[in-house]
């Protein structure tokens, strides 16, 4: 009897994860579609053109990565 309840709970958890992933993916698609304009990206002497959405996603990913890295570096130093 206990195994059936555990199995239903795990299946419900898996369904919730898939639904959350689908919602996040849909939001990402809307974000990219809404910010598909080409912008000039400049960094010091370097210039290029890129889609605004990709520029924002790369900047966010870099910020997230640095946010994970710096607390670990502070412990080492």
CA distance 16 to 11: 9
CA distance 29 to 35: 10
CA distance 53 to 60: 11
- pLDDT digits 0-9 by tens, 2-52: 677 777 777 888 888 899 999 998 998 898 888 889 999 998 999 999 999
Residue 55 backbone phi and psi in degrees, to 5: -60, -45
Q: What's residue 38's pLDDT?
A: 94
Q: Which two tokens stand for residue 26?
A: 């849909």
pTM of the model: 0.60
Alpha carbons within 13 A on the beta-carbon side of 47: 3
């Amino acid at each position: 009897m206990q195994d059936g309840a555990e199995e239903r709970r795990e299946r419900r958890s898996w369904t919730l994860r898939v639904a959350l992933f689908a919602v996040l993916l849909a939001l990402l698609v809307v974000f990219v579609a809404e910010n598909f304009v080409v912008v000039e990206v400049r960094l010091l002497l370097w210039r290029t053109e890129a889609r605004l959405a990709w520029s924002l996603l790369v900047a966010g990913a870099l910020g997230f990565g640095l946010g994970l890295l710096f607390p670990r570096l502070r412990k080492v130093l």
